Chain A
Amino acid sequence: MRIYGILFLLLLSLIPIKAGAIDPENMTAQEYTVVERNCKSAQQILQRIQYVDPVARVNRGTAYHNISKLMSSMTSRTAFNTYILPQMSVETEAIQDLRTQFAKDYTDYEIALRDLINYNCANNPQEFYVRLVDVRAKRSIVTLRVKEIDRRLDVFSANITQLNQLVRAKAQQ
Chain B
Amino acid sequence: MKPQIELIRSYLVRHQFLVAMALVVGITAILTTLSMVLYIQSGASGLDLSRPGFVGSRNDLQKDASTEFESTGELSEADIKTFQKLYQDQRTILNSLSDFDDDAISDESLGLNFDNQATDAPQ
Chain A residues proximal to chain B, CB less than 8 Å:
18, 21-22, 28-31, 33-35, 37-39, 41-42, 45-46, 49-60, 62-64, 66-67, 69-70, 72-74, 76-78, 80-81, 83, 106-111, 114, 132, 135-136, 139-140, 142-143, 146-147, 150, 153, 157, 160, 163-164, 167-168, 171
Contacts and interface: CB of A to CB of B under 8 A. Distances in A.
B67 A69 contact: yes
B100 A56 contact: yes
A76 B105 contact: no
Nearest to B81: A164
B101 A70 contact: no
Contacts of A51: 53-54, 57
Interface stretch (B2-10, B14-22, B26-34, B112-120): B112-120
Given A34-B114, A45-B110, A81-B74, A59 B97 contact: yes
Contacts of A31: 114, 118
Contact of A80 (B71, B76, B107): B71
A49 B104 contact: yes
13 contacts: A21-B107, A21-B112, A21-B114, A22-B114, A35-B112, A51-B57, A52-B57, A53-B100, A66-B65, A69-B69, A76-B72, A78-B75, A107-B42
A80 B75 CA distance: 9
Interface residues of B, number: 57
Interface of B: 41-43, 46-49, 53-54, 57, 60-62, 64-65, 67, 69-77, 79-80, 83-84, 86-87, 90-91, 93-94, 97-102, 104-107, 109-114, 117-119, 121-123
Main secondary structure of the interface of A (DSSP, over half): helix
